[in-house]
Each structure stands twice: as structure tokens, then as C-alpha cells.
Amino acid sequence: MKKMVNKKADTIVLETVIFIILNIIFFVTMMIFVFRSGTSSYVYEQTYAKQIALIIDNAKPDMAIMFDISDLDDFLEKNNFPINEVFSIDKQNNKVFVKLGRNSGYSYRYFSDYDIELKANSNRLNIIVRNKS
Amino acid sequence: MNKKADEKYLSIWWFLALALTGLGIVLAVVIFNSADVNTNNLEAELLNDKIAGCLTKDGNFYEKALEPGFDIYDYCKLNKNAFNLGSSFYFNITIYKEGVLLNYTLGGDRSFEADCRSTAKISAKHYPKCKSTSTGITDKDNNVYIIEILTASNQEGEKVAITR
């Protein structure tokens, strides 16, 4: 009789332990997925490209605009990505190109006909606007 | 004895609840990451302000804009390639003096004009965002000009793959 009772208790404990472990596995998996998705570069690329294009279209010749990019510091440090490769201008097609990944980036067009120069350092992007010669 | 059989059936519902919870979390994250920050209305406004600003000189209407051969792209520093057929931008400038049409200039995707009329009444997701202004301005001789400017932007940007 005692042996039967112990066997039933063992089964209950085992079931409970398995239940808890499966729950932990599920929630840890969800946390990893959410955390990795939250650091996705696509949203940053899109936001910065559009902001820079708007700044260029709103600017006048011989203006120099300092744009705060300190939000990118953690991202670049974690991914070991050089700051001078992030921002570029496609002068032929008048597009801003922002690259935060090794294999892809995001481009956005501006409609103004200026000569644009971008200079990035750790927490600031200098946008220099000049007339085309 | 039935209680033991009930526990076996309940575990299926538990897996189903977990699956639904997981699916909800994944969907929420995917929707968040696919969100688009649309700046087309700002672009239309900037384009409108830029054109309006460059047709004014020292607070008066820039009359040379009415001369034949006046290049609005060169004078207003607009990139001509950005306003080719099939572009994401559009502008339409109409200039009146005492009710008489003097000049009509347009550039970009002309289908945006009809789209702007539609979106004036309803909101539509993939239609261009438009800005329409009508301004009265005088020249040095106090003649009044009415400048109507319609601008539109439907740019979506693009994700670019880098191939080495």
C-alpha cells in the first residue's frame, strides 16, 4: 500500500517538474526572439535615411547641420560596425544610403539639387550642403 | 478514475494555449518591425514651401519666372531626375494675374494630380500625400499675382542588398 502511494506521488512530482521545465523553455524562447527582434537594424536604417533626406530638402546652400546619432553607439559597438561605413550619399541618383548590416541597407531619395557631404564621428553626423559647381 | 483521464485531455488545451500565446507574441513583433515611418506629407510640404520661396524675391513676386525658357529646376535647385516620368514626386504651379492664367508649370508623375483630388476627401494608404497652397503676392508695381502650388510625394524608399 505504501509503495503504491509513493509511486503516485512520484508521478505527480515528475509531471509538475516537466510542466515547469516546458513553460520555462517556452518563455525563454519568446524572450530571446523578442530581444533579437528589438535590435533589428531595419527600423534604424529607415528612420535615419528619411530624417537625413528631409534635412537636406529643408536646407539651404552653405549650411552645415549637426545631426545627433548617439542612439547608434550601442548598436555599432555591439556589432563591431565602423561608423564611417554607415552613412553615404549616392550623388548620381540623389539618394541617402544608410547601412547598418553587412549585406544590406536602406536608401531614400531627396529632391533638392545640392552637393551634399556627410562626415560621421562617434555621436554626430555633419551634413554639409553646398551648391553644385 | 475519470479524473485521471481528464488530466490527459487538459494537457492538449495547455499546449494550444501556449501555441496561441507564442503566436501572439511573434505577430506583435513582426507587425512592430514592419511598421513604416511615412514622411510623404512632410516631403510634399517641404517641396511646396521650397517652390513658393523661390518664386519670391525680396518679398515680391519674381517676375522672371513668367519668361519663356525659365528653368524652374535650375532656379529652385530641384533635381530634374527626381521629377521624371514615374517619379515619386509631383508639382504643379499655376500663376494668375487679375484672374488671367499667365503660367502653368508641372513636373513629376502627373497621375498624382487625380490622386490628390481623391485623397482630399478620403484617406488611402498607398496614395500620394499632397499639399496645396494658394498665395497672393505683389510685384514691385503692386500688381497682384495668385500662385497656386500643388505638390505631392509618394516615395517609399527601398531596402538595398549589397553585393561584393
Do A113 and B80 lie within an 8 Å CB cutoff? yes
Q: Are residues B26 and B72 in the same domain?
A: no
Closest to B116 (Cα-Cα) out of B79, B81, B154: B154
What is the pLDDT at residue B58? 86
Of B18, B25, B160, the CB nearest to A104: B160
Q: Is residue B161 part of a domain?
A: no
Q: Are residues A50 and A34 in the same domain?
A: no
Average pLDDT, chain B: 85
Q: Are residues A81 and A109 in the same domain?
A: yes
Q: Is residue B158 part of a domain?
A: no
Give the SS3 label for residue B144: strand
Q: Are residues B23 and B92 in the same domain?
A: no
**How would you class A54 by CB atoms within 10 Å of its CB: exposed for 0-12, middle for 13-18, buried for 19 or more?**
middle
B133-139's contacts with Cβ under 8 Å and 24+ in sequence apart are B133/B48, B133/B52, B135/B52, B137/B55, B137/B56, B137/B60, B137/B61, B138/B60, B138/B61, B139/B60, B139/B61, B139/B63
Of A104, A106, A109, the CB nearest to B88: A109
Which residue of A97, A111, A113, A115 to mutate against B (max B Cβ within 10 Å)?
Answer: A111
Q: Are residues A33 and A45 in the same domain?
A: no
Q: Are residues A20 and A56 in the same domain?
A: no
Q: Are residues A56 and A112 in the same domain?
A: yes
Give the residue numbers spanning the domain of B74. Answer: 40-153
Give the residue numbers spanning the domain of A14. Answer: 1-38
What is the pLDDT at residue A111? 95
What is the pLDDT at residue B133? 95
Do B47 and A111 lie within an 8 Å CB cutoff? yes
Q: Are residues A21 and A67 in the same domain?
A: no
Supply B132's cell numbers: 496645396
Helices (H), B55-141: 72-75, 111-119
Q: Are residues A57 and A34 in the same domain?
A: no
Average pLDDT, chain A: 84
What is the pLDDT at residue B85? 76
Q: Is residue B99 part of a domain?
A: yes
Instruction: Give the number of domains in chain A.
Output: 2
What is the pLDDT at residue A4? 52
Q: Are residues A62 and A110 in the same domain?
A: yes
Question: Residue A82 gets which letter from DSSP?
Answer: -
Q: Are residues A27 and A51 in the same domain?
A: no
What is the pLDDT at residue A7? 61
pLDDT in tens, A34-75: 777 666 677 888 899 999 999 999 999 999 999 998 888 877
Question: Residue A122 gets which letter from DSSP?
Answer: S
Q: Are residues B79 and B97 in the same domain?
A: yes
Residues A93-112 have a mean pLDDT of 90
Rounded percentage of chain A residues whose pLDDT exceeds 70 = 89
Which of B59-63, B75-79, B98-102: highest mean pLDDT? Answer: B75-79
Report residue B136's pLDDT band, with 50, 70 and 90 as the boundaries.
Answer: very high
Is A96 within 8 Å of A56 (Cβ atoms)?
A: yes
Do B82 and A94 lie within an 8 Å CB cutoff? yes
Of B14, B33, B162, the CB nearest to A42: B33
- Sign for the pseudo-dihedral over CA of A17, A22, A23, A25: positive
A30 to chain B: nearest residue by CA?
B22
Supply B157's cell numbers: 524608399
Do B22 and A49 lie within an 8 Å CB cutoff? no
**How would you class B108 by CB atoms within 10 Å of its CB: exposed for 0-12, middle for 13-18, buried for 19 or more?**
buried
